[in-house]
Chain A
């Protein structure tokens, strides 16, 4: 069974940094692309970032480009999202997603909440 467990969220001041982690199990981590999708309170889904299976190709939403970095540690089967220069509008529940071979969001974690406020 595929399991995705996010951690690292919390309350942070504007301009601060956080690192989100997504520990995975139940599949061959090095064979699948992964990503992050966020959902602001009471709002819809917003794609944030994606990384290919071997971790060399990365993609970002314009709203986070230059501030967020996605990377994989294949030795630990863990996906990360480094969040820098955080803004109030980054406040959201951040979901880790595993892609299918066709790059659809096949499996989702339960999310980790990031709150940016002074």
Chain B
């Protein structure tokens, strides 16, 4: 099983600041990695697939990067609606796995 480790667990930032979230895989997932955003009381939403491809309707301030075992999600300038929990997810192999999540909170 591929274990995904996200860091930090919590990121405290102010609107307008840049957020950088990390996801590290226990073995290579090539570029088969996605990022999801989940707000309280809502279902997750796909943001990024194949490590760097923005999903339909996702603002350009969200960008993904990396390959192999190290990935990042960057939010260039935080908007109020971006404060949420973010999960990475791999589809390289079965079982599919998710990271434990990074909470981006208002400082």
Q: Interface segment, A23-31, A67-75, A79-87, A100-108?
A: A100-108
Assembled-state Cα–Cα distance A104/B97 (Å):
12
In the complex, per-residue mask of A32-52: 1 if CB is within 8 Å of any chain B CB, else 0:
000001000000111100100
Task: Find out whether the CB atom of A110 lies under 8 angstroms from the CB atom of B49.
Answer: no
Instruction: For B55, give the chain A residue with the smallest CB separation.
Output: A106
Task: Find out whether the CB atom of A111 lies under 8 angstroms from the CB atom of B43.
Answer: yes
| Residue B44 is within 8 A (CB to CB) of chain A in the complex | yes
With a cutoff of 8 Å between Cβ atoms, the chain A residues found around residue B38 in the complex are 45
Q: For the complex, would chain A's binding face be called helix, strand, loop or mixed by DSSP majority?
A: strand
Instruction: For B96, give the chain A residue with the smallest CB separation.
Output: A47
Task: Find out whether the CB atom of B95 lies under 8 angstroms from the CB atom of A108.
Answer: no
Listed A/B pairs (17) with beta-carbon separation below 8 Å = A37-B44, A44-B99, A45-B38, A46-B98, A47-B95, A47-B98, A50-B96, A59-B95, A59-B96, A62-B95, A95-B44, A102-B50, A104-B91, A105-B46, A108-B44, A108-B45, A111-B43
> A-side interface residues toward B, CB under 8 Å?
37, 44-47, 50, 59-62, 95, 100, 102-111
